[in-house]
């Protein structure tokens, strides 16, 4: 189903859409307040963007350096070319140590690889420990936002979910109570887990260490309690030096949710005593995206999610109306690189207002990339065949002055004389909620010819 179809369904419950829109706009406002406290904010954006440009230009060297240093620190490093390889590596590590229960902190990469389903099919119990992710996992849903996975749900929905799966009180909606229920439930899982898997926010080439940012401390609880720590990272997570964190850690939480810094910004360098530590470095289409000049910058992304919070379309259509794991503006420039045909409608789920590009902490030209994807999609995908034909007709009309004037004049006459029920039927998407412009008696051109002494023969 296309984005527009799913969005139409989402929008049917207007009160809920308004709530969703306001909840995310509130986050955007918190972000504005925080970033405006930093006079050098725009310089930080530029710096962050340049660091990422440097990383991507030298990615091969940085990755090898990172691997070398990580191995020196006692970490086992794996390389995965795609999702399947990644999932199989995880399973192999778990099977080697006869792991039955895995706790996970938030990792959009493992969502992208559909790791949970794969492991569960192979007999492993998988527990997402980020509160929002646990909620959507219990409901058998996917995250609707990369930072706020359960933003599509109200506290009443969470109460119902916990009543159904965690034996909490019926009808509970007090956030404090619900959080305590989740906390108790998750503690048991943490204490009995055989292995922990975390994502990676930053991988420092020079030290071979990784940084994982959470507000709940769930990555730390998992990784410190379990005898095995697996960290999965995309190849673009590299930063050159630890000091670069002075740029990125200042930006990430501020831009994501209007918080000065994540509550836990945890550095993992080497395995603890009697612990195994594994880093899995995943490509899964990234090097291909790196090779696409127009879309390379999409790999700068630090997954702050601000483009979703600011996007007027995302706020009113919800994360689940996008066909890819990563929704919203950034998802819409990543997804066509994975499967252009499948995710074609995502590139069109934007007014190209550009708010995403201005809010982006690493200055990805998101709306310009959306524009560029549209060009490729219409050129190479036959699913948009009809639309393309319509456009061609429009193009023809606009290319020939005579035709255009005729069509325009006919258009105005048609609007004027046609009965309302024909103009405002369901085939005219504009007219469902809006009136068409009133048809003026004359076009400007006609007025001009009448009121100015011009040679009418042209």
Partner 1 sequence: MKVGLFVPCYVDQFYPQVAVATLQLLEKLGCEVSFPLNQTCCGQPMANAGCEKESKAAAKLFVENFKDFDYIVGAAPSCVGFVKEHYDILEQSPDVSHVRTKIYDITEFLLDILKITKIDARFPYKVGFHQSCHALRGMRMAQSSEINGASFSMQKQLLSMVEGLEFIELDRTDECCGFGGTFCVTEAAVSAKMGSDRVADHERNGAQVIIGGDVSCLMQLEGIIRRQNKNIKVVHLVEILNGITLK
Q: Which of residues 123-182 bind partner 1 (CB under 8 A)?
A: none
Out of 98, 170, 420, 433, name the contact with partner 1 by CB under 8 A: 433
User: Cα(49)–Cα(385) distance, rounded to whole angstroms?
Assistant: 37
Out of 21, 85, 157, 194, name the contact with partner 1 by CB under 8 A: 21
x/- binding map, residues 339-378, to partner 1, per CB under 8 A?
Answer: --------xxxxxxxxx-xxx-------x---x--xx-xx
Which C-beta is closer to partner 1: that of 127 or that of 313?
313
Q: How many residues bind partner 1 (CB under 8 A)?
A: 77
When asked if residue 423 is in the footprint of partner 1 (CB under 8 A), the reply is no
When asked if residue 453 is in the footprint of partner 1 (CB under 8 A), the reply is no
Minimum Å gap between C-beta 31 and partner 1 is: 9
CA distances from 441 to 406, 413, 446 (A): 15, 9, 9
When asked if residue 323 is in the footprint of partner 1 (CB under 8 A), the reply is no
Out of 116, 310, 323, 369, name the contact with partner 1 by CB under 8 A: 310
Which C-beta is closer to partner 1: that of 166 or that of 261?
261
When asked if residue 335 is in the footprint of partner 1 (CB under 8 A), the reply is no
Which C-beta is closer to partner 1: that of 227 or that of 408?
408
Q: Is 455 helix (H, G, I), strand (E, B) or coil?
A: coil
Q: Which of residues 83-112 bind partner 1 (CB under 8 A)?
A: none
Tell me which stretch binds partner 1 (CB under 8 A): 9-17, 46-54, 128-136, 211-219: 9-17
When asked if residue 418 is in the footprint of partner 1 (CB under 8 A), the reply is no
Q: Which of residues 289-308 bind partner 1 (CB under 8 A)?
A: none
- Asked whether 178 and 172 are in contact (CB, 8 A), the reply is yes
Out of 1, 13, 26, 32, name the contact with partner 1 by CB under 8 A: 32
Q: Is 406 helix (H, G, I), strand (E, B) or coil?
A: helix
Which C-beta is closer to partner 1: that of 82 or that of 430?
430
Minimum Å gap between C-beta 441 and partner 1 is: 9
Burial class (CB in 10 A: 0-12, 13-18, 19+), 195: buried
């Amino acid at each position: 189903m296309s984005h527009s179809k799913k969005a139409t369904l989402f929008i049917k419950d207007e009160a809920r859409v308004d709530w969703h829109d306001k909840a995310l706009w509130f986050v955007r406002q918190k972000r504005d307040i925080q970033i405006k406290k930093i006079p050098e904010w725009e310089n930080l954006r530029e710096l962050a963007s340049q660091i990422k440009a440097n990383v991507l230009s030298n990615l091969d060297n940085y990755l090898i350096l990172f691997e070398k240093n990580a191995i020196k620190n006692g970490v086992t490093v794996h390389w995965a070319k795609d999702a399947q390889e990644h999932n199989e590596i995880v399973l192999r590590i778990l099977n080697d140590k006869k792991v039955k229960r895995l706790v996970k902190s938030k990792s959009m990469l493992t969502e992208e690889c559909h790791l949970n389903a794969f492991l569960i099919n192979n007999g492993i119990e998988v527990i997402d420990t980020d509160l929002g992710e646990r909620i959507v996992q219990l409901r058998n849903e996917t995250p609707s936002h990369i930072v706020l996975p359960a933003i599509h749900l109200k506290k009443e929905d969470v109460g119902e979910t916990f009543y159904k799966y965690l034996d909490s009180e019926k009808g509970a909606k007090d956030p404090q109570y619900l959080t305590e229920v989740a906390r108790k439930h998750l503690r048991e899982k943490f204490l009995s887990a055989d292995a922990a898997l975390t994502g990676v926010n930053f991988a420092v080439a020079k030290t071979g260490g990784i940084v994982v940012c959470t507000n709940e401390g769930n990555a730390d609880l998992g990784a410190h309690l379990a005898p095995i720590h697996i960290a999965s990272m995309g190849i673009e997570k590299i930063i050159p030096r630890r000091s670069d964190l002075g740029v990125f850690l200042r930006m990430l939480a501020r831009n994501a949710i209007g918080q000065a810094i994540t509550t836990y910004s945890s550095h993992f360098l080497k395995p603890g005593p009697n612990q195994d530590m594994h880093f899995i470095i995943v490509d899964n289409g990234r090097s291909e995206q790196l090779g696409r000049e127009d879309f390379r910058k999409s790999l700068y992304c630090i997954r702050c999610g601000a483009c979703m919070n600011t996007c007027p379309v995302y706020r009113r259509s919800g994360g689940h109306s996008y066909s890819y794991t990563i929704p919203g503006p950034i998802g819409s420039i990543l997804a066509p690189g994975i499967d252009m045909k499948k995710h074609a409608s995502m590139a069109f789920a934007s007014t190209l207002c550009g708010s995403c590009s201005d809010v982006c902490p690493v200055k990805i030209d998101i709306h310009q990339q959306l524009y560029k994807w549209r060009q490729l999609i219409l050129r190479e995908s036959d699913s948009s065949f009809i639309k393309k034909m319509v456009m061609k007709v429009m193009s023809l009309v606009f290319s020939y002055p005579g035709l255009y004037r005729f069509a325009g004049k006919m258009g105005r006459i048609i609007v004027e004389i046609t009965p309302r029920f024909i103009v405002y039927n369901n085939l005219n998407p504009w007219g469902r909620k809006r009136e068409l412009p009133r048809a003026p008696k004359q076009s400007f051109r006609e007025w001009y010819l009448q009121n100015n002494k011009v040679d009418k023969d042209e």
